[in-house]
Chains A and B, each alone.
Chain A
Amino acid sequence: MSDLWYKYVIAMGLLSLLHSGYSAAQHRSYVRLVEQEFNGPPEDIVIQCVVSLLVTIAAIVSLNTKHFREIHALDDLKEKTIDSINNRPNFYIFNHRGRLCR
């Protein structure tokens, strides 16, 4: 159910974003027709754009939060034994009794 709700909100947010873009363009052509200066889109269009952007972002993130897992830096280290620090491959020496292990 809440999945559907988030998807609905995302759809509405995107539509509102597109709507605000279309209104800004329409405002621009209106101002050109009326031969006034263009000082940027009117405030309500800007507010609509920003709010719908934030709502869409929030909805997309919330839709996916159940798939996020915590990042554990430690999980792969838990399996390490003390041998991984006792053996230093670049410092191996070979004059030991290994020659007798045939």
Chain B
Amino acid sequence: MSTELEDNNVLKLSKTEAKELLQKWREENARHSEQVRDIWMNIDFGGSLGDEKWQVLEQVCVAAIDLHDNELIKECLQQLDNKFPNSCRVKRLKIMAKLELRERFEDALQMYDQMIAKDESNSLLYKRKIAILLAERRVAEAIKELCDYLKKFMNDTEAWLQLSDLYIEEQEYSRAAFCVEELILANPHNHLYHERYAAIQYTINTAESLELSRSYFSQALRLNPNNLRALYGLLLSANSVAALPKTTSQKKRENLRLANWASTQIQKLYREGSDDESRINAMEGMLANLQITPNST
């Protein structure tokens, strides 16, 4: 996940670079709160942000809430309040900062209910209510609320992802797989969804699901040949299918060939990424041991 800036200074960026970096983080949903705060405090944008200023302020406000930095929160909220006096979005930020941060969840829930009564079509409010339930670790209720929410707002990618994660937490893998299927239907060319579906199927660990996982890992690789997780997944799932008692010997050979191909690709990718011979040798040694044998109980 690390950008080159993880360890280096974000302070050395120019204004335009910082602005583009913030925009990139907004689009990727990255949560680099400390770095966002560093950028905001140390780089004086002046007027160069233009209309993006309000989005950046929102981003900085959320980062400040993440870091429990009360002065920065107050400063951001004041500026946003002056610009957008009766805005629901700003009000939501205020509730997040004042009530959710101090863990006054009941009050926050009440306020959200009031706001929902005024405007039922505002999806963000429902999601914050679900987030409060998650913060209180009431996972079963959160799942129920999220299902109701998804009946109303069916094409909300974030919510489907959250629901699939919650089901994984509860170990209901088939339902988690269903959620990711919805995502794949909506975005068939996103290799990450295929990879996640394949990972869930691999976890389910029945004969059909292992074959399914192998084909979805392959699809993820076809969409993005550099996806290392999908390569490892292909290696493991092909090995697992080959190790199943029911596979014919021809299928076994095919699967082992596939696993070999995957391991050569992995080695190639690692070689391109680093020159350190010792690490590469360690990795090759590990690959030789990556066989999952079925339990004989």
Contact = CB atoms under 8 A, between A and B. Distances in A.
Interface of A: 73-74, 77-78, 80-85, 87-95, 98-99, 101-102
The A interface is mostly helix, strand or loop, or mixed, namely loop
A74 B221 CA distance: 12
B161 A98 contact: no
A74 B158 contact: no
Contacts of B131: 90-93
A94 B108 CA distance: 13
A88 B68 contact: no
A94 B66 contact: yes
Given A88-B158, A91-B131, A91-B162, A101 B30 contact: no
B100 A94 contact: yes
Nearest to B101: A94
B168 to A, nearest CB: 12
B223 A98 contact: no
A91 B193 contact: no
Interface of B: 1, 28-31, 33-34, 62, 65-69, 96, 100-101, 103, 124, 127-128, 130-132, 134-135, 158, 161-162, 189-193, 195-196, 223-224, 226, 229
B29 A94 contact: no
Contacts of A85: 161, 192-193, 196
Nearest to A82: B192
5 interchain residue pairs of minimum CB distance: A99-B68, A93-B135, A87-B29, A90-B127, A88-B158
Contacts of A92: 31, 62, 66, 131
A98 B124 contact: no
A84 B30 CA distance: 7
B30 A83 contact: yes
Given A98-B66, A102-B67, A91 B158 contact: yes
Contacts of A77: 189-192, 223-224
The B interface is mostly helix, strand or loop, or mixed, namely helix
Contacts of B127: 90-91
B112 to A, nearest CB: 13
Nearest to A81: B1
B88 to A, nearest CB: 14
Contacts of A81: 1, 28
B99 to A, nearest CB: 11
Contact of A94 (B65, B124, B195): B65
Nearest to B183: A85
A74 B130 contact: no
Contacts of B195: 82
A88 B223 contact: no
A22 B67 CA distance: 77
Contacts of B65: 94
11 contacts: A74-B223, A78-B224, A82-B195, A84-B30, A85-B192, A85-B193, A85-B196, A92-B62, A94-B66, A94-B96, A95-B135
Contacts of A89: 29, 31, 62, 158
Contacts of A78: 191, 224, 226
B29 A88 contact: yes
A101 to B, nearest CB: 6
Contacts of A102: 67, 69
A100 to B, nearest CB: 8
Contacts of B158: 88-91
A4 to B, nearest CB: 41
Contact of A84 (B28, B103, B134): B28
